[in-house]
Amino acid sequence: MTAIPLWVRRPAGERVGWLRTVDHKEIGVLYIGMGIAFFALGGVEALLLRAQLATPEARLLDPETFNQAFTVHGVTMIFLAIVPLLVGFANYLVPLMIGAPDVAFPRLNALSFWLSLIGGIVLYFSFLAGGAPDTGWFSYAPLSERAFAPGTGVDYYILGLAVNGAGTIIGAINLAVTILLMRCPGMSISRVPLFVWMTLVTSVLILGAYPAFTAALVMLFVDRQLGGHFFDPSGGGQVVLWQHLFWFFGHPEVYIMILPAMGMISEVIPVFSRKPIFGYAFVAGSSVAIAFLSFSVWAHHMFAVGLGDTENAIFSATSMLIAIPTGVKIFNWIATMVGGRLRMTTAMLFAVGFIAMFVIGGLSGVSLAVVPIDLAVTDSYYVVAHLHYVLFGGTMLGIFAGTYYWFPKMTGRLLSEVLGRWHFWTTFVGFNLTFLPQHWLGAVGMPRRVFTYAASTGWGPLNLVSTIGAATLAVAMVIFFVNVVRSLRSGEIAGDDPWDAFTLEWSTTSPPPPENFASIPTVTGRRPLWDRKHPESRDAR
């Protein structure tokens, strides 16, 4: 058996190679590969941070190294790991799910991947070129201005993220046009799989949010390199302008990171409950509501800035409002399971884990919409706990669910369920050990982004527990990596439809042929494969 899998079957002589491919499936794999590689780097950075914080007043990392590590950790996980992983899955799956032969602009698709990757490489090059950025992933002005960050780190941040962002914007245009104009006959927009819905909404969010961040980066560049005063009070500028622009992008960014993962589990849960999703319209509609509302909540990251009680109250209201469409999805998923016949495969375990952890992350998030509570715990480890519960407990567990579910489609082989269970439970325990104590640490006064803390604070024991959790997570990742490598080599052959699933990607071979389908299908409902297999009990819509 060849060690490197043939992701896309082609007649001999037709392969163009990874560097020149314009096939959405191969580009999807490239994105996923990029995401995995940067996730590993970001994970190493996290382990370094946790090692330094395990005991009070430790001297494992000097403050400058620590500050670079947490800055790059944040940028890596968000822009170079999570977004590429999600875009990768979207790239791979969306044309298959809508019965299309590829995305709308295959060459632009390749361009968007290479731009995303080059942006990441530019950022990491900074380590070799005088130091990585060290002003935090949100790089507040004026700390990020030349006067206080004289090295080139922030300049690499600007350049790397501008290039990476351009790639993401182009990718979003591609996915949006694909979903809007390339659905197969019969597939109205109200019949597309929920993962496709979420991808469409996410694309709209990217197109609304990323340009605002690009504008902020341009302004910071003008300040740093051309002597400008956008964020310089001594020149008439206001430091708060950066925060407004950044969070106008930053808040939709977190929905960009969660919606596709919600889309993934909206595919996994129905299949392993043997039932259609409960309330398709509500789940789809709620994502549209989230998209609108996400542009109205940004200043809940700025409650302590002193904007004023009226402004704070408005953003508090919109932030509570957005919790509603976000939260009701949970009821839809549970209702899907009620009355079903649940198969607790590893994919289903991770999907259920997503729900369980997202409830916690969602509740801590809503508590942060309560201004006085936020004023107590913002900028502390409580927020670190919250964000990891939604982005790791939520998004990453969702991505793992998607991985165990779609790996067979992409590679033709199943991942090991035995190793999968070990992976899940080690992750679950490690994750909660790492981040649950951080809620308490924040509440009793431990701020974010501190390279150490005084022994007299008494924060040592919980920090140690958190570090042990991080080490456990590292073990879980190793288990996963072993699972992937072994399954690529000698995993059980999957066949076209190993899960007895509902949507079009399972109606073609594993892996699919270059043109995806032998002939473009026609659909009459939301679960075309179910309809094909059970013509006597077709879906009504």
Please, which residue, 321 or 475, has the CB nearer to another protein? 321
Cβ at position 117, least distance to another protein in Å: 21
Cβ at position 24, least distance to another protein in Å: 14
Secondary structure (3-state) at 450 = coil
Among 52, 109, 41, 49, residue whose Cα is nearest residue 75: 41
- CA dist., res. 462 & res. 445, Å (int): 13
Check the CA dihedral 496-499-502-504 and report its sign: negative
Q: Which residues pair with 447 in a beta bridge?
A: 380
CB proximity list for 449: less than 8 A, separation 6 or greater: 67, 70, 136
Please, which residue, 105 or 114, has the CB nearer to another protein? 105
301 and 251 in contact (C-beta within 8 Å)?
yes
Cβ at position 539, least distance to another protein in Å: 8
Cβ at position 228, least distance to another protein in Å: 4
Cβ at position 399, least distance to another protein in Å: 20
Please, which residue, 237 or 412, has the CB nearer to another protein? 237
- Token pair in block for residue 456: 């007299």
524 and 538 in contact (C-beta within 8 Å)?
yes
Among 349, 323, 353, residue whose Cα is nearest residue 255: 323
Cβ at position 89, least distance to another protein in Å: 21
- CA dist., res. 453 & res. 464, Å (int): 13
Please, which residue, 109 or 472, has the CB nearer to another protein? 109
Cβ at position 240, least distance to another protein in Å: 7
Cβ at position 65, least distance to another protein in Å: 10
Please, which residue, 421 or 449, has the CB nearer to another protein? 449
Q: Which residues pair with 413 in a beta bridge?
A: 493
Among 523, 503, 294, residue whose Cα is nearest residue 409: 503
Please, which residue, 135 or 411, has the CB nearer to another protein? 135
Please, which residue, 189 or 281, has the CB nearer to another protein? 281
- What CA–CA distances, in Å, run from 320 to 238, 315, 326, 390? 28, 8, 10, 16
Please, which residue, 447 or 513, has the CB nearer to another protein? 447
Cis peptide before 142 (omega within 30 of 0): yes
Residue 19, burial from CB neighbour count under 10 angstroms (0-12, 13-18, 19+): exposed
Among 219, 92, 78, 118, residue whose Cα is nearest residue 510: 92
Cβ at position 304, least distance to another protein in Å: 5
- Token pair in block for residue 79: 């822009």
Please, which residue, 343 or 489, has the CB nearer to another protein? 343
User: Any idea of the CA torsion for 141, 146, 152, 157, to the nearest 10 degrees?
Assistant: 20
Cβ at position 15, least distance to another protein in Å: 26
Specify the amino acid at residue 275. K
Cβ at position 50, least distance to another protein in Å: 15
335 and 266 in contact (C-beta within 8 Å)?
no
CB atoms within 10 A of CB 376: 14
Specify the amino acid at residue 492. E
- CA dist., res. 231 & res. 67, Å (int): 22
